[in-house]
Amino acid sequence: MTVLGNLWSFVWAVLTHVWALLTVFPFLGFPLAYLIVHAWKRDRRLAGRWAVNITNFLFIRAVVAAYGVIWPDALSAWWWVIVFFLVTVGLLSWLQVKWKRKLSLRKAGFSAWRLSFPLFGLVYVVLFAMGIVKTMSVV
């Protein structure tokens, strides 16, 4: 192999290990994303928003992975995530029309995304604990 091939192999291995670490511990993505965006843009508010969005994506990924490990024969958790977002956007849109008499799907989608952050954080903690209990009960 060439030096460039070895370097590419090393970089790929590091990225896969970082991705695996962030799947198991998604909350580590918050400070990592915050520091990278803050160093890049020099804006604390923008770095905070990016960190929350990236951590939310990591929470969703971790919940899907934990669900698949705990219940391997069940329906894919991605379907539950999609249904959650569709129902949440639908309810928020209905509330917008009822209260303000106009609809903004962008605001409803953004609100659903922000509401999913604490929800998926909580679901991650619950599934993580359930995975530990299930693993301990097997042993």
Q: What is the pLDDT of residues 17-37, one digit of tens each?
A: 999 999 889 999 999 999 999
Residue 6 has a pLDDT of 82
Give the whole-angstrom CA distance, residue 36 versus residue 77. 30
Q: For the chain, which ranges sit under pLDDT 50?
A: none
| pTM score of the predicted model | 0.86
* Burial class of 51 by CB neighbour count within 10 A (0 to 12, 13 to 18, 19+): buried
5, 34, 44, 114 from 63: Cα distances, Å: 34, 22, 28, 16
User: Domain residues of the chain, as ranges?
Assistant: 3-138
Residue 67 has a pLDDT of 94
106-112-113 Cα angle (round to 5)? 90
Residue 134 has a pLDDT of 86
Residue 137 has a pLDDT of 80
